[in-house]
Structures are given as C-alpha cells and as structure tokens.
Amino acid sequence: MFIRYLGFALLVGFPGVLHAQSPEQSCTAPTLEGGFYAPKQQTYSHGTKLSYACHDGRRPPVSGWWGTSTCLNGKWSRQPECVETINACFEPPKIPHAVIIDQEYQELFATGSRLRYECEDGNRADTQQFIECAAGMWSVGSSCTADCRFDTTKYPKLIPDGVKVVRQGEDLKQECVTKQWTPDEISVVSCINGTLSLTKCCYRPTIKAGACTEPMDTQEDGVFDLALAV
C-alpha cells in the first residue's frame, strides 16, 4: 500500500500539471467514492490533468493503481471512478457480429454496469441489445444473426422469381416448376444463422402434416449453394 501511495505522490508531484486559464469552460471537482485525487480544488481550468488513486479493495477501471482524467471544456475526459474489485467484471465477452457502443475502453466494470452493443450490417438481434455485470459475471446478450440472400434463379426445380431476403428464423414458400403438371408443389426455404436451407418439392398438405423435411437435392440439379448472408 505504501509503494502505491509513493508512486501516486511521484506522479502528481511534477510541475506543469496545471495549464494556464483559457477561454474554454472550467470543470467542477469530480465526486470520487473510495479514492482520492490531486490537485484538490473546487474548479479546474480547461486542460488540467487530474490524477487519482483508490483505497484498498478498489481500483480504477483502467490498468494500473492510479488513473488520470483531463478537463476538456467543462467535462472530464473520463469520470474518475474506483471500482470494488470483489464483485467487478473484467472486459466484456466478444459477441459475434456485434460491437460495444458508447463506451471507452476499460479493464474493470463495477457490478450493475450495463453495456449496449449493436449488430454489424446484415445482422440483427431479436431482443434488447445489452449485457450487464452482476457479481463478477456478464449476462448473456441476444445473439446477432444474419439474414439470408435467396437467389431463386440458382435452383432449377424452383420457379425463378428474382432475389429475395429470408429473415433469420423465418420460412418462405417457393413454388416448384412441377406446378405445371402437379399443382400445389412448393419448397420450404429457411434461414438459420445466415445459412439457407430448402426442402424438396412437396404438396402443401404434406408440408402441413410435417412430412416434408428432406432437403432439396441440389447436386442433382447441378447446383450447390448455401446462399450468402446479407
């Protein structure tokens, strides 16, 4: 503990920490629970760099035993914070096809912290897109899954009808060319995690009865295409 305080004293003891007054707005003293900072003032001019350290059982969210923040036109570049390490969460897990938004990089998050994320282009989530830290563990967020691109012209057994988008988890019914001789034959097209699947051509009553589950024989058609995720 003594070494940490000594290092902190050396960090803030050098001159040149405070910058001259400028036309930009000043910052009010931050509230820091479980720690202390220097220099100790009521207000800080634009450009002032504040250094802080935390008491035992806490640490800044960034690496190291002390943190820094700079006054930038009335706002601190990062709000000083001392996170309780006993229930804290480390870096959030990577969510496939998603990025964390509105959050600066940090190594430690206090319990109760909530992070928002958004899906990459061509992907979407079915529920709210956030994860939360609770007792040292991150909650599981909704998956970002891709829709499927369905080019009807690539399947000779189907009546060509241009390019369609099949939503994740949804089914689409596409009419078969055999309709000319045996009406009411269709293929059920599904999209699961960005991969397209098609059943063989079956009568609608057979499909409704759940008896048409065999995949379309694309090898026989001379076509093998799992489609491309949008």
> Which tens digits make up the pLDDT trace of 80-124?
999 888 889 998 988 888 999 988 888 899 899 999 999 888 788
End-to-end CA distance of the chain: 55
Among 126, 127, 95, 91, smallest CA distance to 109 is for 91
Question: What is the band of 14 on the pLDDT scale with cuts at 50, 70, 90?
Answer: very low
Backbone angles phi, psi at 47, to 5 degrees: 95, -5
| Domains assigned to the chain | 2-84 (2.10.70.10), 98-145 (2.10.70.10), 147-229 (no CATH)
Question: What is the band of 28 on the pLDDT scale with cuts at 50, 70, 90?
Answer: very high
- As a whole number of angstroms, the distance between CA 35 and CA 111 comes to 17
Among 91, 95, 35, smallest CA distance to 63 is for 91
Residue written as tokens 């000319």?
Answer: 180
pTM across the whole model: 0.52
- As a whole number of angstroms, the distance between CA 154 and CA 227 comes to 10
Look up residue 22 and give its two tokens. Answer: 């400028």
Look up residue 137 and give its two tokens. Answer: 């563990």
How far lies 49's CA from each of 55, 72, 110, in Å? 20, 9, 24
pLDDT reading at 224 higher than 50:
no
> Which tens digits make up the pLDDT trace of 66-90?
899 999 999 999 899 998 888 899 9
Among 54, 57, 76, 49, smallest CA distance to 65 is for 54
DSSP category for residue 42: S
Which amino acid belongs to residue 85? T
